[in-house]
Structures are given as C-alpha cells and as structure tokens.
Structure 1
Amino acid sequence: MSGLLQSALAGGVLRLTLSDAATRNSLSEAMMAELQSALDTAATNGQVRVIVLAAEGPAFSSGHNLKEITAHRADADKGATYFATLFDACARLMLSVVNNPKPVIAEVAGLTSAAGCQLVATCDLAIAAEGARFCTPGVNIGLFCSTPMVALSRNLSSKHAMEMLLTGDIFGAEDALRFGLVNRVVPAATLTETVVMLAAKIASKSMVTVKTGKQAFYRQQDMPLADAYAYTARVMTENLLKRDAEEGIAAFIAKREPHWTDEP
C-alpha cells in the first residue's frame, strides 16, 4: 500500500481504510487502483471472510478528484479518452464490490459525496455515524452524477434518488437511513464498535453459504419473478447438497453449534 489505503486483517475481517486526507479521500486514479487491487486479492484470500471499508478524516470520500479531471482538459482530445478510462475503472471497482464473494460493509463518518455515495450504495451493508452527511452535488457544477445514479437508483426509491441527484443538497444520516442508503445510524463514538460486531457476526457464518447467497441475491434482482424463483430454487438445491448445509441442519436438530468446513 502507498499510504492512500491502509489494510488490517483480524478475525477474518479485512479493514480497508481510505487515508488520503489531503483530497478528502477522493476516488483518484491511485486510490481506485489500490482499492481494486485490495478487493481482487481479498476475493481469493481464504483468510478474509468479511471486508470493511472505512476512512480517516472528516470525509468518507469526496468522490472523483476534480483537480485530476481538470488537468486533463489540456489533452489533445480535451480529456475525452482520460474521462472514459476513469469512469471505466470506477465501474470495474463498483462491480468488484458487488461480485466479491466476501460481504462488504461501509463504515461511514463525515461527508460522503458523489462517487463516494456510489461506493456506499454499492456496498452490501452500510453503517453511518450520527453526524454523517451525504450528497450527489454534480448538478451544482454542471456535471450530473450519472454513474453514482446507477448505484443510488438500485438501492433507494426512485423519488429519493432523484431528490439527491436533482437538488445536489446535503442530506443527514437519518435521511440516508430513511432513503435506504444505510442500514443503521449510530453514535459516532460507537461506529467502529458496531461495525466490528456486525462483521464478526457475519464472519462466523459458513463462507460458502454466504458466497452462494450474495451471488444469488444480486443475480435474481433483475429477473422476472418466475425466472427468479426458478433460479433460486436451483441455488437452494445446490446449497442443500453442500457439506456445510448438511452440518448446519444437523447441528440445529441436535441443538449444538455447527462446525463449518467452508468447502465449495
């Protein structure tokens, strides 16, 4: 790690901390590259069971680095090639969160803006501190938050997502909870403790089961209802044939703790 992203693994929980206070943890080229590398590595690391994304300083993430973007307006094509490459990299990063077999939890304090909101909305779970704030202010500077809109429109109701996107206003943590952007709002003093407890609870489950469920959750979302039931019926059948399902059911019947193998 270069210092933009700090990494710590304990008890099966990988904690990735955005640490670029100078740019308010912007999703710069370098930051996205480090996050991408860390997520790719975690996906195949058997010691990692849950991933937590946190941040240092007064902002979770300010979104794309506008100074970095502006610098490329001097390119021969006015930045068109660079902009396309940047947003492709961001899309790949977001898909790596969704497609990662490990659950990803956002631990959010401070201000989260634009692509930062996209990252929070993309995570499987999000816990916010009481003082956290959220906005997609691109409309205020002539740049509609179109890529953040993808994640917001899939997690929030259409009207709540459009309110954020069309006004560019800053919304508090309770609004984010009401909108469905975060799961819980807790006192800032207990934010990390809450996330640690949640991550540990998930880490205690069978990882092959969690992987199966996370993958199926996202795949069935856009299917027609009948197709979704047919697909998930196949998933449950395959799940039942796995060793951890046999062990878990046996343990439940015998009223004992299960002993997971995590075998695929």
Structure 2
Amino acid sequence: MTARFYYPDRMIPGQIVTLPTSTSHHVTCVLRLKQGDKITLFNGEGGEFSGIIKCTDKSRNTVMISQFHEIERESPLSISLVQAVSSNEKMDWIIQKSVELGVNSIQPVTANRSVVRLSKERANKRLLHWQQVIIAACEQCGRNRIPKLLPLLTLSDWFSQQFEDKQKNIENRHAHNFLLSVTANERLSGFPLPMTETPLILLVGPEGGFTIEEEKTAYAAGFVSICLGQRILRTESAALAAIAAMQTLWGDY
C-alpha cells in the first residue's frame, strides 16, 4: 500500500508542496522513502491526491501533486462517540480504533466516576495529542475525512447542551441515542435500521461506569440503555464493540 499522509492545505495537480517537518521526518527517517517514490496525500476535505517525492531531507520534503482521486471510504452511518475520559493509553486506543471503525465525531467528557481529571491546560494538551491520534488513524486506515474532535466537557455540561439542542429542535432531534449500561436488557439487534443520515450517538462511561443519577439524566435526554451481551466489558472495549456491532447491523461491514 502506498504511504499516506495528511497535508492540511489546499492541493491541485501540478503543484509542488512542502510537507510539515514531522511528516518529512517520518517519510525520510522511518519509512526511508526516496526521491521518485509515490505517496498519497489528503487534506481531510474528501478525496486524495497521488504525488511523487521530488526532494528528500530529514526536515524538508517536497512532493509533486500528480492527480486527484475522488475516493471516499466513509461509513454510511453518522456515529458520534461520547466517551468518558480514561487513562492515557486507554483513551488513545479508544480514539484510534473508533476512527478506524468509522465514527464521525468524538466528544470526550468527564463523569462523576472518571479516574482522570484534567486541568484546562492539561486538557488542551490532551486535545492536541488526540487530534494527532485521529490524523494518524486516518492515514493508516485510508479515511480521507478527519472525524471531528470536540472540546472536553463535563458530562453534566454536555447533557445541558443536549437539552438545549432538543428545545431548539435542531438536527439531533431525530438521533438514535444509545447508552451502554450493565443493567440494560436491550440489544442493538433489537432496533430497526436507522434512516439514512440519522445521527447515532453512543454514550460510554468511565472505568467505574455511570452513576444512577447520570443514567437517569441520560434517559431524560432521550437515551436508551443497551447491553453488549452477558459479559461486562472494560470501557476501552465497550465503545469499540458497540461501534463494530452498529457497522455490522446497519453500516458497511
């Protein structure tokens, strides 16, 4: 497979672009690509560009853009993952794999039982890091559109937004809202195929799960609780299993 890289700016065939320093380092020092090698670039707006490396250097690589390809690898499902923040490695794993599985947006939240508590400064650093995790996952899995990463919120603030949006009667009024709960009896297979472009919102708790009060608030916001079988999954497994199940039942698997 041709190496793929995210290039954040506009591209047109015939243009020579200079890759960012971090990308150039990966091209030269990790993949050891050379002048004349073919690569693929995408800017997150859809489609991808084939290119040829014109100049290689540890800190600076130039690429001649040769052709644009209208290739889309997006799922037919519009899945938004609302994930309670977990420890660094677990959260990176959840974000990386959920992107590979086809989510459209990721909303990190802190819940009452969240082990990880981030100050504003640390939260901003983590968001920058998670954004790079998303981009790297897109480079690896072939997606040409970058899923949206939303600012970190407390779960209560996020619920407040949901109630406000519901009152304004905007697009998520028709969403299918699913809450993973160990006490639930319903399963995804019991729900009908969502209408085209119907938003699917998946709410996943922290290591200790949601409190009773948080689940009650979720129900008031229009969520239905679902389970993923008879076994209790860790938070880093639960979200991915649910997304994979959605894609199998209704998506492109």
Q: What TM-score do you get using the length of structure 2 for normalisation?
A: 0.25
Q: Name the one with the larger strand percent.
A: 2
Identify the structure with bigger relative contact order (alpha carbons < 8 Å, sequence gap 6+): 2
Normalised by the length of structure 1, the TM-score is 0.24
